Amino acid sequence: MDVVRRLSSAYKFHADIIRRWVERYGILRTKSLVEALKTPCKRISLRVNLLKTDTDHVLRYFEEKGVRVHCHDKLEEVIFVESRGPFKLPTSDKVVIADKMAAESVMMGAHLFAPGVVKAENVRKGDEVLIVDKYGQPVGYGVAEMDGEEMEKRREGLAVRVTVTLFKVPSFRGDPIFEEGYIYPQSFPAILTSRVLDPRPGELVVDMCAAPGGKTTHIAQLMRNEGQIIAVDRSKNKVKKLQETVAKLGVKNVKILLEDARRLPKLYPSLKADKVLLDPPCTALGVRPKLFENRNEKDIINSAAYQRTLLRAASKILKKDGVLVYSTCTLSPEENELNIKYAVDELGFKVDDQMHVYGFFGEPLLKDYRKLQRFYPDSHDTPGFFIARLIKTRD
């Protein structure tokens, strides 16, 4: 399809992804999806850590700082701050190319540090430079703090002091309210996920893919630090992050395991949790803002197959009538609805209503799956996201 090729090269999204969305949603909706994905949310959500503070305190803190904040009308731990932009960038013939992660950070208002620099030809310290990604898409403008060769080589240090960026997203890193663990930046659907799990004080909850710990620490908050959470992650570095998050947020009821969650049934044959959260790795097609998307059809298929292996393990460590919440930050049906169909057809789960737990903020994709909650970047002003709540019907 010509239009697929055209949109793919204009947006820098892999043609497989564009093709799938054009087939499912049509051309106009595909454009609106991609354009939303290329920008940050207008309302940026933060979770208030009710283990350490209350929402009023956080609201007062922001008001005193002159930051505009809104509360959510139903969820007491959710507040929103606003992003601004897009702003017009000045031009310059001196260009610094940044890697994807760095370019996406600059795009939201961060400075550019040397490890994120890919190329900086003919740049001298003091030059005014335009920062672009590898496709030449501009993200920010500023003053070089070192010579080009130096920023290409150095492993640390400020490379470009950024003065204008495409967007401004408030960041609270370094702010006492963040450093003390009073707030945790988390997307709205990610916050909703732990709410949909509805953990109660005293329960045994397993979080199978827990790092860096956003949902784990929220679950602890909902359990008021009572009961037991087993938080598993197989990556050593990420487990370190998880430990830091747990300590910072004052969470006391978590046991952290550095382990492949697929081994849990073998390692702990008598483990029967009341509730399990499975927030597995996914193709992250819903994560925003993104400058480009290189993942393709094959990545989706592989990711879905991997998620099923985790779903199988989840079914074994859950007690009968126990609750499994499954969430992803992606949009492909294979990783979402079709994996849930697999869990229903092969693993003895039934789909549970999310309405009685919290209300339904998203929307379903398919008629047969009305109880599954999806979020779209263009219509919900959130990342693309998926939440399913399942009940295990057999021993």
- Positions annotated as catalytic residues are 329
Residue with tokens 């393990």, as numbered in its chain: 313
The pair phi, psi for residue 69, each rounded to 5°, is -130, 150
Does residue 362 interact with ligand SAH by CB under 6 A?
Answer: no
The pair phi, psi for residue 335, each rounded to 5°, is -85, -10
> Which amino acid belongs to residue 274?
D
> Which amino acid belongs to residue 321?
D
Distance CA 220, CA 227 (A): 9
By CB under 6 A, the count of residues binding ligand SAH is 19
Choose between 13 and 385: whose C-beta lies nearer to ligand SAH: 385
Contacting residue, 183, 205, 232, 325, with ligand SAH by CB under 6 A:
232
Does residue 211 interact with ligand SAH by CB under 6 A?
Answer: yes
Report whether 123 contacts 147 (CB < 8 A): yes
Does residue 213 interact with ligand SAH by CB under 6 A?
Answer: yes
Residue with tokens 């295990």, as numbered in its chain: 392
Does residue 261 interact with ligand SAH by CB under 6 A?
Answer: yes
The pair phi, psi for residue 89, each rounded to 5°, is -100, 140
Choose between 240 and 341: whose C-beta lies nearer to ligand SAH: 240
Distance CA 381, CA 251 (A): 30
CB of 155 to ligand SAH, least distance (A): 24
Candidates 19-27, 49-57, 83-91, 233-241: pick the segment binding ligand SAH (CB under 6 A).
Answer: 233-241
Distance CA 109, CA 196 (A): 33
Does residue 214 interact with ligand SAH by CB under 6 A?
Answer: yes
Does residue 249 interact with ligand SAH by CB under 6 A?
Answer: no
Within residues 34-73, the interface with ligand SAH by CB under 6 A covers none
Does residue 212 interact with ligand SAH by CB under 6 A?
Answer: yes
Between 176 and 205, how does the x/- string for binding to ligand SAH read (CB under 6 A)?
--------------x---------------
CB of 304 to ligand SAH, least distance (A): 14
Distance CA 49, CA 187 (A): 14
CB of 243 to ligand SAH, least distance (A): 13
Report H helices in 134-212: 148-153, 176-179, 188-197
Distance CA 321, CA 63 (A): 45
Report whether 29 contacts 7 (CB < 8 A): no
Instruction: List Cβ neighbours of 24 (8 Å cut-off, separation of 6 or more).
Output: none
Q: Could you tell me which residues are beta bridge partners of residue 316?
A: none
Report whether 205 contacts 219 (CB < 8 A): yes
Q: Which of 353, 372, 352 is nearest to 362 (CA)?
A: 372
CB of 261 to ligand SAH, least distance (A): 3
Choose between 199 and 213: whose C-beta lies nearer to ligand SAH: 213
Q: Could you tell me which residues are beta bridge partners of residue 101?
A: none
CB of 40 to ligand SAH, least distance (A): 19
CB of 218 to ligand SAH, least distance (A): 8
Does residue 371 interact with ligand SAH by CB under 6 A?
Answer: no
Does residue 244 interact with ligand SAH by CB under 6 A?
Answer: no
Q: How many of the other CB atoms lie within 10 Å of CB of 320? A: 11
* Integer CA distances (angstroms), 55 to 35, 48, 49, 182, 191, in order: 33, 6, 8, 9, 15
| Minimal CB distance residue for ligand SAH | 209
Does residue 316 interact with ligand SAH by CB under 6 A?
Answer: no
Choose between 160 and 340: whose C-beta lies nearer to ligand SAH: 340
Within residues 279-308, the interface with ligand SAH by CB under 6 A covers 279, 281
Candidates 16-24, 147-155, 260-268, 384-392: pick the segment binding ligand SAH (CB under 6 A).
Answer: 260-268
CB of 326 to ligand SAH, least distance (A): 11
Does residue 260 interact with ligand SAH by CB under 6 A?
Answer: yes
Contacting residue, 233, 274, 299, 378, with ligand SAH by CB under 6 A:
233
The pair phi, psi for residue 374, each rounded to 5°, is -115, 145
Candidates 100-108, 112-120, 208-216, 332-340: pick the segment binding ligand SAH (CB under 6 A).
Answer: 208-216
CB of 254 to ligand SAH, least distance (A): 13
Report whether 250 contacts 181 (CB < 8 A): yes
Which residues here bind ligand SAH, judged by CB under 6 A? 190, 208-215, 232-235, 238, 260-262, 279, 281
